[in-house]
């Protein structure tokens, strides 16, 4: 039975379709090398359309990225500026209810509550919550944990710390992510938001004002943290249980050693990963 379905959808755009592999991968039931090997077989031996080829290539990169995340979580120190919004804040309550006033973000929240949101939706929502709404990263991580059907402590933590630190491959920065601009790139025909009852990407005026203020607050928090060296330096979740199935896949792609900590090294050594 084939593990990978060859689809015509663009994995770089927001869609409501997933590979269907994440639950098995997160639980450790599926060795990630198996779908990667199958994808390589398809690419080498089948006549595919350009869109199908692009879909498989993107899926393969994302499968490898999952394993990179396991290494990066251990190998790097993540820095968080203090002063995040708490449970009592308007921003947190709007996230929980899914009424932020930004159609793309509210659609991502509804998608999350369905249990298996697209990977682009996960990242977009995490970045908005942390960088634009300034919600405490631990609260954002808990929100994802509550709903994700394929919840994995390592993968979810990596996505959250990536959004909170502003960088993965090097020194953290305070660059922001604008969901209004992202909507034009990730959902150009409004197909994604329409699935959740929205017809326009235009945010409410109050939400747009809050977005601008939140973005400036994020930058200010980073600048103050740098000036005073007041960063929080810690992982959101302990990884001492990394050798147990739900955290790391035993005897497969190692968290340490020749595969990490940089994503390009994973890509360059793909042959060893699937050989």
**Residues 92-112 pLDDT 10s:** 999 999 999 999 999 999 999
Q: Using an 8 Å Cβ cutoff, are 55 and 11 in contact?
A: yes
Q: Using an 8 Å Cβ cutoff, are 38 and 2 in contact?
A: yes
Given the structure tokens 């634009």, which residue do they identify? 132
* Residue 244 pLDDT: 43
Q: Using an 8 Å Cβ cutoff, are 8 and 49 in contact?
A: yes
Q: Which residues of the chain have pLDDT under 70?
A: 1, 16-17, 70-76, 166-176, 235-275
Question: Residue 85: what are its φ and ψ, rounded to 5°?
Answer: -70, 145
Q: Using an 8 Å Cβ cutoff, are 145 and 60 in contact?
A: no
* Residue 97 pLDDT: 97
* Residue 266 pLDDT: 59
* Residue 243 pLDDT: 47
Given the structure tokens 């790097």, which residue do they identify? 76
Domains in the chain (CATH in brackets) are 22-77+245-274 (no CATH), 79-233 (1.10.579.10)
Tokens read off for 50 = 């350009």
* Residue 194 pLDDT: 96
* Residue 106 pLDDT: 98
Q: Using an 8 Å Cβ cutoff, are 222 and 79 in contact?
A: no
What DSSP string runs through 121-136? HHHHHHHIIIIIS-B-
């Amino acid at each position: 039975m084939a593990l990978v379905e060859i689809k015509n959808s663009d994995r770089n755009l927001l869609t409501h379709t997933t590979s269907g592999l994440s639950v098995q991968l997160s639980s450790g039931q599926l060795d990630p090398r198996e779908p990667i090997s199958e994808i390589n077989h398809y690419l080498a031996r089948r006549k595919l359309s350009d869109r199908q080829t692009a879909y498989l290539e993107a899926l393969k990169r994302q499968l490898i990225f999952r394993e990179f995340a396991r290494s990066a979580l251990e190998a790097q120190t993540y820095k968080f500026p203090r002063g995040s919004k708490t449970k009592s804040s308007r921003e947190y309550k709007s996230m929980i209810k899914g009424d932020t006033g930004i159609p793309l973000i509210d659609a991502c929240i509804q998608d999350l509550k369905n249990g298996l949101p697209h990977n682009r939706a996960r990242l977009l929502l995490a970045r908005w919550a942390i960088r634009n709404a300034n919600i405490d990263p631990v609260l954002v991580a808990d929100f994802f944990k509550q709903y994700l059907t394929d919840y994995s402590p390592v993968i979810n933590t990596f996505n959250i710390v990536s959004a909170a630190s502003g960088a993965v491959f090097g020194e953290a920065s305070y660059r922001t992510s604008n969901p209004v601009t992202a909507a034009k790139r990730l959902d150009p025909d409004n197909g994604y938001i329409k699935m959740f009852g929205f017809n326009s990407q235009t945010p409410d005026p109050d939400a747009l004002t809050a977005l601008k203020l939140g973005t400036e607050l994020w930058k200010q928090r980073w600048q103050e943290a740098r000036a005073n060296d007041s960063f929080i330096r810690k992982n959101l979740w302990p990884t001492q249980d990394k050798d147990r199935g739900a955290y790391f896949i035993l005897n497969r792609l190692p968290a340490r050693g020749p595969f990490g900590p940089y994503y390009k090294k994973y890509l360059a050594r793909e042959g060893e990963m699937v050989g």
